[in-house]
Structure 1
Amino acid sequence: MLPKKRLVLTLVYVLTSMFVCAQKFYNKDVNALIKFDKTSEFTIFSATAENLTYSDLSLRYEFMVFKKDSADNTAKSLQGNRFFLEANEKKILSSITLNNVIAGKVTLLLLVYPVLDGEENTGAISKDRIEVTSNKNGQLQLKLDPNRKELLREEAQDGIFLQGLVVKKVLTKSGRDFYKYFYAEYFNKQIKTEKHIVIEEVPGQRRSTRISVKVDGQLVWQFFSQPKKDYLTKMANTALDRSIRYLQQLQKQKQTLTRY
């Protein structure tokens, strides 16, 4: 019996070690995050994914909702699909709305899988999980995954999240249009940062103007303006990608400093 017990213990140790090692690699290349927006009666939960690499990725997601009532009966719903993320892109994948008064418990689980050469039989590379309950006063209670890559400061009970601003300092209609296209994508991607982004337009050459985009005072993109919509849209997308990349670099530096 002794050798068999040792074999079982060894197997348990190996499996546990493999699981712990696998945990370390979650959210390394893709950050899966369930974001939420509370109102007085409802809360909207949005499944999001952010590409943390400089390469385009083909991915698949599963957004699962488990509802357990007071009698321990569980119902499951699932949303999922393939999607594509460009380098440093952030995307909203799906969303659900829950009443703030919940009988029992609701668990939301987001998993993101890579799609390699058309194959989907691979393990998840990114995940997030939230447990939702109501207290005796009918207030929504959220239990977050402790391994979340992003700190949602608006969730802190004793803190205030100061949202960064997208500041407009433009001179012409082209500058105003560029700001509009830039801010629309900034809003759609639900970017939350305390850093300010400044869009500034100054006189340039040959009756043109030069538009620059700065994040926290650092220049990330500049170009000479043109009135064409396609051109300004392309410049807005490029400027936003550069801005996101720089914000990610700042976040990594902050995490490194915190670690040491």
Structure 2
Amino acid sequence: MNNTTVYKELNYLLVSIKKGNGGNLSNNQQSGKFSVNPNEVKILSEISVNLESKDALKAFLYIRDEETQKLVAKDSLELNSDLFKKKTAKIEEDAAYELRGLTIDETKTKVGKDFYDMFYMQYSQLPDKSSSAVTITELPLRGTSGQINIQMEDKIIYSFMTNPAEDYLKEQLVYSLKYIKEFNAKKNLIKNEFIY
């Protein structure tokens, strides 16, 4: 529900993770753009999950402003969450592995989509993928140009102007993968400094 007096254009990401009785994990991801008028209630998405009595479910909803890409709201839902806590370390490791290498396409033009497709093909083949999602967003600029941002953990780690030339996109792909690798190395270094 939009509790403000302003019309809003937003994006949503809905991720659900189901743990079956045997310990196997499955996930579902839905995303999209939507607009909402003041005091309007809107159904963004519906998921249907077949849950047995010993199954557990976690669902996460993130809503971002379409223009600024800032997180506006988030919510989560857990069913039978105590079943997630059993063998916690193993399940968290499996969930991180399951979501490892997650990429989110928020491009708007053919050039942006071409870059995302090239990026996805290369990134999915890397042996050491990040446990953080990589979001590729595109912002339109004046004229026919635009800006593509590579984001991880709500931080822009690399940004470049769009250009339809394939050689240029391949060059930007190399830079993007390099900066992702550096970001992960710094994150792991900081994480390891606090392990005693």
Report the TM-score when normalising by structure 1: 0.38
Task: Compare CA radii of gyration and give the structure with the larger one.
Answer: 1
Higher fraction of strand: 1
Report the TM-score when normalising by structure 2: 0.50
